[in-house]
């Protein structure tokens, strides 16, 4: 059956649906599938050890970092953000426009750690919110991908706790971890997550991994892939836990297997079983995922999920079975250059499927993703 999945992925490369692909799957005890197809960079074929800019796959690591502190009693999901980071109180809600002048007001609700983790804080990216894109343009405000601390100061698009909106909330959550723990977030993640799990190819800088780093491609108006330069900012003022990491398929699968195995792997415990149960439960307090309509079509297509999809403390959470695929309660998300993953505790399966291409979630890529996922479940 693994040969069938090999064929699916090789055909996707041959058809130009993806420039290359690395995919792996595992249960809590072992890897059950691994395959790599196509050229990851000039002169180098994709391999298991290919290094990816994982962008928003960083977010779950940031949420796990916060969960470590919650597990130890040093933090609560209900802690107000401003109690730890008083600068949060500088943020205002963008209520509308007077021509090109933004109309801002104070939030009506105090944001909490839970709001940050579930993307209900009011912060939204410019890539899926035209008002945020306009705000950056007319005010010349610092964007989040600058790596500067000023880039955290986006206005809120809604009051906290009133809508799911995808944005730089986890960057703020990483700053909370720093403030509570005292270590910089890269040092915290290294000591508390990467080293115990043996994630030796996961890092905040690509130093020493350049020869394994994949190229990024973008699809042009003719449907062909061409080179595109995009990467997390090097040596930033602030490591953004929304986007800062580099990793490999085996490393990230190790992280997912820790969650699948209820907080421990290979004799090293990252979280208690109770903390994992809390972290993977619906934490949206009655809200649900809202479709993300693109404001930057060259970079991303629209992002839609089944009606009723929620968000746990660390992941998007499926609330219904997907036919021939993941089961209710599964956790998932992705990075903007089309690195994707899911964790299905009911089926005891975790998987990644990764390339480096734009636009995000374009249909050719998603065809490949769906065929891969269905192929894995057919193996079971």
Catalytic residue set: 56, 59, 166
CA distances from 372 to 34, 73, 158, 163, 306 (A): 12, 40, 37, 32, 19
Please give the helix or strand (H or E) that residue 335 lies within, else none. strand 331-335
User: Buried (b) or exposed (e) across 29-63, using 16+ Cβ within 10 A?
Assistant: eebbbbbbbbebbeeeebeeebbbbbbbbbbbbbb
Half-sphere exposure of 320 (CA within 13 A, CB side): 7
**What CA–CA distance (Å, rounded) separates 269 from 2?**
31
Distances (CA, A) of 164 to 159, 232, 318, 364: 11, 25, 15, 27
Buried b (16+ CB within 10 A) or exposed e, 178-210: bebbeeebbebbbebbbebbebebbbbeeeebe
Q: How far is it, in rounded angstroms, from Cα 40 to Cα 19?
A: 8
Q: What's the CA gap between 129 and 135, in Å, rounded? A: 10
Phi-psi region of 104 (alpha: psi -120 to 50; beta: other; left: phi over 0): beta
Nearest Cα residue to 265 out of 279, 275, 253, 274: 253
Contact 296, 81 (CB under 8 A): no
Spatial neighbors of 30 by CB under 8 A, at least 6 apart, are: none
316 φ, ψ (degrees, to nearest 5): -70, 140
Burial of 228 (0-12, 13-18, 19+ CB in 10 A): middle
d(CA 96, CA 103): 5
Degrees (nearest 5) of the Cα angle 83, 160, 126? 110
Given a contact cutoff of 8 angstroms between Cβ atoms, the answer to whether 64 and 278 are in contact is no
């Amino acid at each position: 059956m693994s040969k069938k999945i090999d064929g699916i992925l090789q055909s996707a490369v041959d058809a130009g649906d993806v420039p290359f692909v690395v995919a792996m799957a595992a249960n809590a005890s072992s890897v059950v599938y691994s395959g790599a197809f196509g050229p990851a960079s000039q002169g180098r074929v994709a391999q298991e050890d290919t290094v990816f800019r994982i962008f928003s796959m960083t977010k779950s690591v940031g949420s796990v970092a916060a969960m470590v502190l919650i597990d130890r009693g040093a933090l609560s999901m209900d802690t107000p953000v401003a109690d730890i980071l008083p600068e949060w109180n500088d943020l205002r809600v963008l209520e509308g426009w007077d021509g090109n002048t933004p109309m801002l007001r104070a939030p009506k609700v105090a944001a909490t750690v839970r709001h940050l983790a579930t993307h209900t804080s009011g912060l939204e990216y410019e890539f899926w919110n035209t008002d945020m894109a306009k705000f950056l343009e007319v005010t010349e405000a610092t964007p989040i991908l600058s790596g500067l601390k000023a880039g955290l100061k986006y206005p809120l698009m809604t009051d906290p706790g009133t809508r799911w909106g995808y944005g730089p909330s986890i960057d703020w959550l990483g700053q909370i971890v720093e403030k509570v723990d005292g270590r910089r977030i890269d040092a915290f993640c290294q000591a508390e997550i990467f080293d115990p799990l043996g994630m030796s190819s996961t890092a905040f800088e690509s130093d020493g991994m350049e020869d394994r780093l994949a190229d990024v491609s973008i699809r042009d108006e003719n449907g062909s892939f061409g080179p595109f330069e995009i990467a997390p900012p090097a040596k930033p003022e602030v490591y953004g836990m929304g986007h800062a990491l580099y990793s490999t398929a085996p490393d990230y699968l190790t992280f997912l297997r820790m969650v699948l195995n209820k907080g421990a792997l290979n004799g090293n415990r990252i979280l208690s079983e109770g903390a994992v149960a809390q972290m993977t439960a619906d934490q949206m307090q009655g809200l649900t995922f809202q479709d993300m309509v693109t404001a930057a079509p060259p970079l991303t297509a629209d992002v839609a999920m089944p009606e009723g999809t929620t968000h746990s403390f660390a992941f998007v959470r499926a609330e219904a079975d997907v036919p021939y695929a993941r089961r209710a309660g599964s956790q998932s998300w992705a990075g903007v250059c089309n690195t994707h993953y899911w964790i299905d505790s009911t089926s005891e399966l975790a998987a990644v499927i990764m390339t480096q291409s734009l636009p995000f979630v374009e249909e050719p890529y998603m065809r490949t993703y769906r065929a891969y996922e269905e192929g894995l479940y057919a193996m079971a």
